[in-house]
Amino acid sequence: MLLHLCTWPEVESYLEVSRGIIIPIGSTEQHGPTGLIGTDAISAEVIAKGVGEATSALVGPTINVGMALHHTAFPGSISLRPSTLINVIVDYVSCLTKSGFLKFFFINGHGGNIATLKAAFSEAYDRVDNLGIERADEVKCQVANWFMCRSVYQLAKELYGNQEGSHATPSEVAVTQYVYPDFIKNVGELTPAPSGHPIYGAKDFREHYPDGRMGSNPNLATPEHGGRFYELAVKELTGSYLEFLNSD
Amino acid sequence: MLLHLCTWPEVESYLEVSRGIIIPIGSTEQHGPTGLIGTDAISAEVIAKGVGEATSALVGPTINVGMALHHTAFPGSISLRPSTLINVIVDYVSCLTKSGFLKFFFINGHGGNIATLKAAFSEAYDRVDNLGIERADEVKCQVANWFMCRSVYQLAKELYGNQEGSHATPSEVAVTQYVYPDFIKNVGELTPAPSGHPIYGAKDFREHYPDGRMGSNPNLATPEHGGRFYELAVKELTGSYLEFLNSD
Amino acid sequence: MLLHLCTWPEVESYLEVSRGIIIPIGSTEQHGPTGLIGTDAISAEVIAKGVGEATSALVGPTINVGMALHHTAFPGSISLRPSTLINVIVDYVSCLTKSGFLKFFFINGHGGNIATLKAAFSEAYDRVDNLGIERADEVKCQVANWFMCRSVYQLAKELYGNQEGSHATPSEVAVTQYVYPDFIKNVGELTPAPSGHPIYGAKDFREHYPDGRMGSNPNLATPEHGGRFYELAVKELTGSYLEFLNSD
Amino acid sequence: MLLHLCTWPEVESYLEVSRGIIIPIGSTEQHGPTGLIGTDAISAEVIAKGVGEATSALVGPTINVGMALHHTAFPGSISLRPSTLINVIVDYVSCLTKSGFLKFFFINGHGGNIATLKAAFSEAYDRVDNLGIERADEVKCQVANWFMCRSVYQLAKELYGNQEGSHATPSEVAVTQYVYPDFIKNVGELTPAPSGHPIYGAKDFREHYPDGRMGSNPNLATPEHGGRFYELAVKELTGSYLEFLNSD
Amino acid sequence: MLLHLCTWPEVESYLEVSRGIIIPIGSTEQHGPTGLIGTDAISAEVIAKGVGEATSALVGPTINVGMALHHTAFPGSISLRPSTLINVIVDYVSCLTKSGFLKFFFINGHGGNIATLKAAFSEAYDRVDNLGIERADEVKCQVANWFMCRSVYQLAKELYGNQEGSHATPSEVAVTQYVYPDFIKNVGELTPAPSGHPIYGAKDFREHYPDGRMGSNPNLATPEHGGRFYELAVKELTGSYLEFLNSD
Amino acid sequence: MLLHLCTWPEVESYLEVSRGIIIPIGSTEQHGPTGLIGTDAISAEVIAKGVGEATSALVGPTINVGMALHHTAFPGSISLRPSTLINVIVDYVSCLTKSGFLKFFFINGHGGNIATLKAAFSEAYDRVDNLGIERADEVKCQVANWFMCRSVYQLAKELYGNQEGSHATPSEVAVTQYVYPDFIKNVGELTPAPSGHPIYGAKDFREHYPDGRMGSNPNLATPEHGGRFYELAVKELTGSYLEFLNSD
């Protein structure tokens, strides 16, 4: 059930049976020579939809652009500053809390979002409480990173070993291939990608990771793998969402 | 050509032939008893894709949530505060200007975004100039409202007369029916919607427009109409984009 | 009745009979080779005073500096960033709502203010509502642009045809001549001013409009014209204000 | 020479002979039962004009609304938050520094502005320096409080002794009577005003100073006194401005 | 070598041999019925000093108040909002980068700071780069959480098993006992503390953790343990700092 | 009684007998060739502790970094921007007001903090009032500058005459020598320091005060003097705090 495809009276009805909402959040950033710039948004969105179907939960609009400042030395990357993203999250949570939502489950496709999201949750709890919104003290946010699901992680390890790497990974590329089989990019064999250098600013990142990959070999990805990752992530996050929803 | 489905080297190549990018911006807000909450984002996105195809332009990720504070007394509406949206636009423009983009063409599906977008453009010109980004003084932004296209306006008038209204209009509903024929909502006959009261705050809006419509009869919409609106908007905005792109 | 010339007990008494206030807003920006830098503030202020007298409405202090970033490549122009102006408006509305005012009628002399003002109104409705100020949901703001009054527009067309242009217009210059007949500037005959280029950043503006005029011939202005524009604007906005004040 | 009554080429010429500008800043706040709400803006403006005439300096538009949050429990008072006023000052200084101004002399009519102004100057030096504006490291701001001029202070003491008080003082009321002799308010004899309680928040202020006066007897003011205060302030600040302008 | 106990010429000399600085960051928040409110700042500071001595590194002033909004339902807790803390970090990094520092090693005593710190680092890289500070693209920040050192974690497990818990832990309490043996608080036997409930807003936290402890038994702490934790943390972070300093 | 060395139940008990708290605020900035960078924080902290002991008042954590932008051209200086410091103060006051504190006594060691602190107090009164915190209208903040105590000033004059100067003064250096006798720096005889130039931006400051001193001869300082200054400041501020605490 997608919020975008509902009417407001349908949302009103939904709120009588559930106070939970799933919000996919991705990023718009380089994913190496073959990965799609929308990889993180695409994967978060499709998995969120899957979880939404499995749980009859409402799925909000995808936050397509996240915190990816360190990727902005590659053309096409777009990032919010952390301070902007915090305000975006605060605004989402404020509006939806006024609507009656209390449980916000962010399905996240980008590691770089995690810190800012968590900071934003703290800011949001404080804000809704200060605004005097009813039941504001019951507002709860959770970030669920599909790529950190135990089952996903295990399959990635099994399929790719240490060629999974940590950015532009075959697992995330596989999910996009599963969703967009017509947009599989091929630039021939890839040299081994560097790894191990921590993430600092944009120029430094590009200097150390000249084609954008961090230790990964996305050529190992297949749409079929993508389907399996999708299934695992949906299954595991379905459990997480229900647990979150039913927690006090 | 969707930015989300490109790799960064593809964007690099694109920048050798064009400095323009199209960014769809919609809203997540009530659209009356039958209109989809995502109406403005859906229509902006589909039309932007059409224009992108017609012009070989790059189309960035859709801004799904815009400035809709006045709709937030209806459940399911989400809005950024104007000050937040300004920062979002500034961040988009800053990042993409660093990438090499100079012409930003926002295809907009929501009247409530216009003022804030224009304010944001001014803020963005100033910011990129202050940041010392190369060619910053050539950055140009334009907002193109598909629903204000002359041809669209004329067809709406012809098909619906004054039952077009000004919010939750049959024309915009028709476009969503064209895109999502399986999500046509029907709640039976609608009473005539009030109209004429200006837009102020959220509570005032709901008081004056209790089911969310402003003077409109969305029951008149058909998917076929939607297809016609889509074609007209794409055609007209294709012209606008090319003119913008080629202007000095 | 000017707020600046009242005592607070007089304001208290006024609030027993009216909840409306008029706030003039102008700009401090170049107006071509002969137009005064204060043109927009001067005209907004004098017209606001006229409307105030005609309606016994309170007139607040003039906002002299508005959103004119695109004029800042000409010496002497001052602009607030849109984000700053939004906060200024929010502060005015918050304070005055606490005082008991509910209807804010901004008489505006500068086209460049409109977008930011409208964005600010949305931000202000949200803020006063969040602050828990009494009757906050009744707060209403309106922007009234004197230069867009139908009667003003018609007279300008009649007197100047297309030499009215769109910046440093003879009509606005005429109003300042009417108010300050001793400050009529004369630099001899003016070459036809360029027109048609949209407004982007400050450097781009000056490049396309080297002496600051946009399609106008301010040499056509006379103080007597100014008096006629003044009368028309006051009359028309008197009607607008009363309608606004009496609306629900 | 008032910036508002200049054209931009006149400003350009002025900048060839001087880099200084005077900016009056007042407040819009209660001044007791008889003092005008615009007292601080009126006095700052008239004295700034006087200094401008005496020194051939350019005088910018008056900042009518300052930092007066502690007066906002009285109807008609308007205040910027300190954070807003800081941004206003930063924007003024940024724009005018780009124009070529380097010496900013704020003639101030309100004690409550001083702290925020000084904070704003620090923020402004940092900002213009960060923006890479040419000669930014030469920017200098100074606040000159007319009511703290030694000669003004001495006359006030001589005329009013301790009935001068510290808010809604006879000296500032006198200046407004001198400027607006037709707006002298009279509510009969005034009881002695309380004094000595420090300034905290708005409600606390009104509780301790129920009619708005702090230790003052504004009934002692006369327009003739006002003229004398005006002359003294103009003379003393003329010296201060010239010293500031000529300092390295 | 403490920055606070240096002169500026000493800092200048230091910068000729090193570009690194250590900044302790703690929190001011409840630590259960017996833990000191300053626990996180005290521990971060003492360990930072130890690392500074071991590495001849400069140690900056302790950030005593961090991000602890979720503890603010207990009296005495103070928190910055995440957006405030981001600006604090940005200001530190900007100033010190202008001084010549390039490697910022934050020794952190509070889990709740981590997300906001990481968000702040991203914001800081972007800001210093935008400000045009020399060598800005070499700026690198790292957060080092002493309580997450492997050796510390192992000792805590060995000494306390699952009574270590996750807030107001015996290990952190032990460190404060080691530093302040005269301030060991004793309230008698403690009931087992609840655990397992995630952290959301302040009221929710207190509801679930009524005395502030999360699964911990701080009564197990001894000053002697504290000394051992201190030694382990200093040793391990000395290695981390040197590795960071010497990394490219 | 230091907040950092208390438990939250101890703070709860304290609040039953007092609503006051002392917060030391210093700065991290150059203090000439021999003065410690932490001079202002060290002196504010030690004096605050002394006052806390004398009055049984709670003393909060020291704000080590204040507003010192004008010192940032000397290596090692760190400053918050005024806008950041305002938010820091607002956050402190908001949190502690929620705890139940109402009287905030800032013992300040740095002249450059005063303006921003006062601006911050105004912002804080407004914010806590807007947040609807109980008893928010009773919140009161005061800044007490130890170096401006009458008795301190007199002793400095007596000991140093005009060699006291106004920055890196022998009196403040003496206090740090009293606290840290092992960190007395000696660089030999000092040339007379320039004085009289007002404070503007950072580069301008260093240009006029090349070694950081403003008219001072810190070589006159002795630890014994420091002890006398300490005693005088504690005594005088003890009186001030009690008066503040007991005022309505």
Does F19 reach chain E within 8 Å, measured CB to CB? no
Chains that touch D (3 or more CB pairs under 8 A): B, C, E, F
What does the pLDDT read at residue A23?
98
In a mutational test of the C interface, the residue from F126, F127, F128, F133 whose CB has the highest number of chain C CBs within 10 Å is: F126
Does F81 reach chain D within 8 Å, measured CB to CB? yes
Judged against a pLDDT cut of 90, whether residue B115 lies above it is answered with yes
Cβ–Cβ under 8 Å, residues B189 and B235: no
Angle, nearest 10°, between helix axes A114-130 and E114-130?
110
Chain F residues in contact with A132 by the CB 8 A cut-off are: 132
Provide the number of CB pairs (under 8 Å) joining chain D to chain F: 114
Look at residue B214 and give its three-state secondary structure: strand
In this prediction the ipTM stands at 0.97
pLDDT digits (tens, 9 = 90+) for B81-112: 999 999 999 999 999 999 999 999 999 999 99
pLDDT digits (tens, 9 = 90+) for E170-206: 999 999 999 999 999 999 999 999 999 999 999 999 9
What does the pLDDT read at residue F170?
98
Judged against a pLDDT cut of 90, whether residue E245 lies above it is answered with yes
What's the pLDDT band for B212 if we cut at 50, 70, 90? very high
Look at residue F123 and give its three-state secondary structure: helix
In a mutational test of the F interface, the residue from E5, E6, E8 whose CB has the highest number of chain F CBs within 10 Å is: E8
Residue of E nearest to F58 (CA): E76
Binary contact (A139, E69; C-beta < 8 A): no
Question: Mean pLDDT, 10 residues at a time, over chain D (248 residues)?
Answer: 97 98 98 98 98 98 98 98 98 97 98 98 95 89 98 98 98 98 97 97 97 98 98 98 96
Closest CA to E120 of E83, E80, E68, E67: E83
Alpha-carbon A129 to chain mean position: 26
Binary contact (A200, E119; C-beta < 8 A): no
pLDDT tens for chain A, 248 residues long, are: 999 999 999 999 999 999 999 999 999 999 999 999 999 999 999 999 999 999 999 999 999 999 999 999 999 999 999 999 999 999 999 999 999 999 999 999 999 999 999 999 999 999 999 887 889 999 999 999 999 999 999 999 999 999 999 999 999 999 999 999 999 999 999 999 999 999 999 999 999 999 999 999 999 999 999 999 999 999 999 999 999 999 98
| Closest Cβ opposite residue C122 in set B69, B140, B197 | B69
Gap from B165 CA to chain E (nearest CA, Å) = 42
Chain B residues in contact with A61 by the CB 8 A cut-off are: 28, 38, 41, 64-65, 78
pLDDT digits (tens, 9 = 90+) for E106-163: 999 999 999 999 999 999 999 999 887 889 999 999 999 999 999 999 999 999 999 9
To the question of pTM greater than 0.80 for the whole model, the response is yes
Chain B residues 137-176 within an 8 A CB cutoff of chain A: none
Reported as half-sphere exposure (CB side, CA atoms, 13 A), residue E206 has a value of 16
What does the pLDDT read at residue D130?
85
What does the pLDDT read at residue C7?
98
What does the pLDDT read at residue B130?
85
DSSP H or E run through A108: strand A103-108
DSSP H or E run through D142: strand D140-145
Instruction: Classify burial at D130, counting beta carbons within 10 Å of its beta carbon; exposed 0-12, middle 13-18, buried 19 or more.
Output: middle
Chain F residues in contact with E187 by the CB 8 A cut-off are: 9
Judged against a pLDDT cut of 90, whether residue F38 lies above it is answered with yes
Chain C residues in contact with D62 by the CB 8 A cut-off are: 64
Does D115 reach chain B within 8 Å, measured CB to CB? no
Contact yes or no, E with C (3+ CB pairs under 8 Å): no
Q: How far apart, in whole angstroms, are the C-alpha atoms of residue E141 and residue D82?
A: 32
Chains that touch E (3 or more CB pairs under 8 A): A, B, D, F
Give CA separation, A20 vs A47, A148, B76, B156, D19, in Å: 17, 22, 12, 38, 61
DSSP β-bridge partners for residue A104: A21, A141
Q: How far apart, in whole angstroms, are the C-alpha atoms of residue B57 and residue C245?
A: 48
Judged against a pLDDT cut of 90, whether residue B54 lies above it is answered with yes
Chain C residues in contact with D96 by the CB 8 A cut-off are: 78
| Closest Cβ opposite residue B119 in set C115, C129, C248 | C115
Chain F residues in contact with E62 by the CB 8 A cut-off are: 64
Chain D residues in contact with B130 by the CB 8 A cut-off are: 131-132
What does the pLDDT read at residue D43?
98
Cβ–Cβ under 8 Å, residues E93 and E86: no
Look at residue F116 and give its three-state secondary structure: helix
What does the pLDDT read at residue F77?
98
Q: How far apart, in whole angstroms, are the C-alpha atoms of residue B193 and residue F125?
A: 45
Instruction: Classify burial at E172, counting beta carbons within 10 Å of its beta carbon; exposed 0-12, middle 13-18, buried 19 or more.
Output: buried
Alpha-carbon B43 to chain mean position: 7
Binary contact (A9, B33; C-beta < 8 A): yes
What does the pLDDT read at residue C132?
78
Q: How far apart, in whole angstroms, are the C-alpha atoms of residue D28 and residue C60?
A: 9
What's the pLDDT band for E2 if we cut at 50, 70, 90? very high
Contact yes or no, A with E (3+ CB pairs under 8 Å): yes
Gap from A132 CA to chain C (nearest CA, Å) = 7
Look at residue C109 and give its three-state secondary structure: coil
Angle, nearest 10°, between helix axes F170-179 and F223-246?
100
Does C95 reach chain D within 8 Å, measured CB to CB? yes
Chain B residues in contact with C132 by the CB 8 A cut-off are: none
Gap from F85 CA to chain C (nearest CA, Å) = 19
Does B3 reach chain A within 8 Å, measured CB to CB? yes
Judged against a pLDDT cut of 90, whether residue C131 lies above it is answered with no
Cβ–Cβ under 8 Å, residues D177 and D143: no
Give domain limits for chain F: 3-245
What does the pLDDT read at residue B201?
97
Judged against a pLDDT cut of 90, whether residue F130 lies above it is answered with no
Task: Report the topology of domain D3-245.
Answer: Rossmann fold (3.40.50)
Does B135 reach chain C within 8 Å, measured CB to CB? no
Chain C residues in contact with A131 by the CB 8 A cut-off are: 130
Does C128 reach chain A within 8 Å, measured CB to CB? no
Judged against a pLDDT cut of 90, whether residue C134 lies above it is answered with no
Residue of D nearest to C64 (CA): D61
Binary contact (F137, D201; C-beta < 8 A): yes
pLDDT digits (tens, 9 = 90+) for E40-97: 999 999 999 999 999 999 999 999 999 999 999 999 999 999 999 999 999 999 999 9
Name the more confident of A79 and F129: A79
What's the pLDDT band for F80 if we cut at 50, 70, 90? very high
DSSP H or E run through D20: strand D20-25
What's the pLDDT band for C130 if we cut at 50, 70, 90? confident
What does the pLDDT read at residue F133?
82
